[in-house]
Amino acid sequence: MIPFVIHNIKSISTMTLLFIGAFFSAPERETRVWVAPESEVVIKGTTNVNAFTCRYNVQELEVPVQLTYNEKVEQIQFKNAKLKLANDCFDCGGKAINKDFRELLKTERHPQVELRLLHVDPLESDAQKIGVGMEITIAGVARKYQTTLNCVQAGDICVNGSLDLLLSDFGLEPPRKVLGMIKVDNKIKVQFSLKLKEI
């Protein structure tokens, strides 16, 4: 009799905990976001002789972007907030450098760069900066980053900022050109200015 009662008490306690957890945990929500054509994603780098800028053709983005998120007290967590950027849609200013850029990113095997939003810290009413966790995948290698972005909400949501990356973190070797005399620096900068609208 006693083991039966103990078993029932354990079962009831487990069910109670599950119920309370389900009641107080924030449910997942879904929305869609439109990325305006005036948005920008830019990769900048330098060599020992000059600098280069590769701009993404935002009109090639698959929009709208479907988002699944969970609002928690400490932060908003995202499930599938991704921007997939085809390497071929970056323009570095000329055919030769475009070819070098695509070779650097191992485009034949990994044709796109992926930016994935992981979480956003709640935005205070009088602040215009937000803490952001994101994952960047280049050449099939994913790395997570924590950064701060500027965010202005006036009708549309405008998010902008930059992030310094090391090519070596993604298993990429900075290329050398002209018999090794021109070398690309290991550090690159990803800049983005996104104008977003929930639809």
Please tell me the distance from the alpha carbon of residue 165 to that of residue 189, in angstroms, as a whole number. 6
Instruction: Answer yes or no: is 39 within a domain.
Output: yes
Instruction: Answer yes or no: is 48 within a domain.
Output: yes
Q: Which domain holds residue 62?
A: 29-198
Number of domains within the chain: 1
Instruction: Answer yes or no: is 38 within a domain.
Output: yes
Residue 114 has pLDDT above 50, yes or no: yes
Please tell me the distance from the alpha carbon of residue 197 to that of residue 118, in angstroms, as a whole number. 19
Instruction: Answer yes or no: is 16 within a domain.
Output: no
Main-chain dihedrals φ then ψ at residue 181, nearest 5 degrees: -80, -25
pLDDT at position 71: 73
Beta bridge partners of 55: 42, 91
CA atoms within 13 A on the CB side of 7: 4
CATH number of the domain where residue 174 is located: 2.40.128.110
pLDDT tens for each residue of 44-94: 999 888 899 999 998 888 767 777 877 776 778 888 788 899 999 999 999
Q: Classify residue 12 as left (phi > 0), alpha (psi -120 to 50) or beta.
A: alpha
Instruction: Answer yes or no: is 4 within a domain.
Output: no
Its pTM stands at 0.77
Is residue 195 within 8 Å of 35, Cβ to Cβ? yes
pLDDT tens for each residue of 14-41: 444 333 343 344 567 788 888 888 899 9
Q: How many CB atoms lie within 10 A of CB 30?
A: 10
Instruction: Answer yes or no: is 20 within a domain.
Output: no
Instruction: Answer yes or no: is 8 within a domain.
Output: no
Instruction: Answer yes or no: is 17 within a domain.
Output: no
pLDDT at position 126: 61
Please tell me the distance from the alpha carbon of residue 31 to that of residue 190, in angstroms, as a whole number. 26
